[in-house]
Structure 1
Amino acid sequence: MKTHILKTDPDVFEALVRGDKTYEIRFDDRGFSVGDALCIQETKSSGHDMANGAALEYTGRTTARTVTHILRGPLYGLSDGWVILSVDNPARDAINQAEAIEQWAGCLEKIILHVETEHAKDPNYPTIGAEGMGEFAADMREAAARLLQQAGGGALNQSEKDPHPDCELECGAYGTYCKCNAEGGA
């Protein structure tokens, strides 16, 4: 594994930092490999402007990424000697993981409520260990909060995670099916 120090234009750098851009197109003069670290520095001017005489100056902003996949030319219109490097986004990855954990915790809580409601109606309704599930859901929420803190994010917005909080049981755990939507609800 190597570390490559690269420079990039301001708009491209901003898109990379925001997580909108998850790749780098580069001439493969460095022998890039999956697992390589990229230290990407933002320049004050674009490559086009520098080609027309602007000085190479850095803004001081940098970001780090890891190469997760490489597409090497000549292939799919990519010229020989050029590569498209797929890169990770650690902050976005952590936020996505935290959101997934939060969603599962919410699903567990809905399942617990459903089981408790049915068990109250019919004492023979199986409880499927609902007692321990509540503790597990709380642990999941704590793990999600830690991930968000590491990623620099704030608290998750419950309304963004679960647009149908009144669904009885179908909460996204088994796909995108939404009972209230299927029945003409919210």
Structure 2
Amino acid sequence: MNDFRMKNQRMCHELKIDPVYFRDLELGSKTFEIRKDDRPFRVNDMLLLQSFDRETNEYTGSMVFASVTGIFGRKENEKEFVKEGYVILSIDLIKSRYVID
């Protein structure tokens, strides 16, 4: 994974999230994301987390924006606590949009 950004450049990562976990984000009881470390995640990057129902294979229309405040699992002394190839992203919710049926 190559990251050619300048030191202070932010990136927005568009990610799918299961509706159950999405609701926990909205309620504030979930302040982290466990993700494959297959993207150049950095602290201060933005996440666009879109609720996606895998049973219907459709987006629900709800989404939240979050900022990455920390990354756990990349340092050698952290790897024993996180499955290989994954990271835990600490996040702060920025803005949410709800779709009312």
Deviation at 1:42, TM superposition (A): 0.3
Runs of 4+ in 1 over 6 A off after TM superposition: none
After TM superposition, the score normalised by the length of structure 1 is: 0.42
Deviation at 1:55, TM superposition (A): 4.3
User: Any stretches of 5+ residues in structure 2 without a counterpart?
Assistant: 1-9, 96-101
User: Any stretches of 5+ residues in structure 1 without a counterpart?
Assistant: 46-53, 92-186
Matched residue, 2:73:
72
| Higher RCO, Cα 8 Å, sep 6+ | 2
Q: Measure, in 1, the Cα distance between the counterparts of 2:61 and 2:93.
A: 20
Q: Measure, in 1, the Cα distance between the counterparts of 2:37 and 2:50.
A: 18
Q: Does 1:8 align with 2:17?
A: yes
Could you tell me the percent identity over the aligned residues?
41
Q: Which is higher, the Rg of structure 1 or of structure 2?
A: 1
- Larger % of strand: which? 2
Paired residues for 1:72-91 under 5 Å = 72-73=73-74, 75-90=79-94
Q: Does 1:30 align with 2:34?
A: no
Secondary structure of the corresponding residue to residue 25 of structure 2: helix
- Larger % of helix: which? 1
Secondary structure of the corresponding residue to residue 67 of structure 2: strand
Paired residues for 1:53-132 under 5 Å = 54-73=55-74, 75-90=79-94
Number of residue pairs matched by the alignment: 83
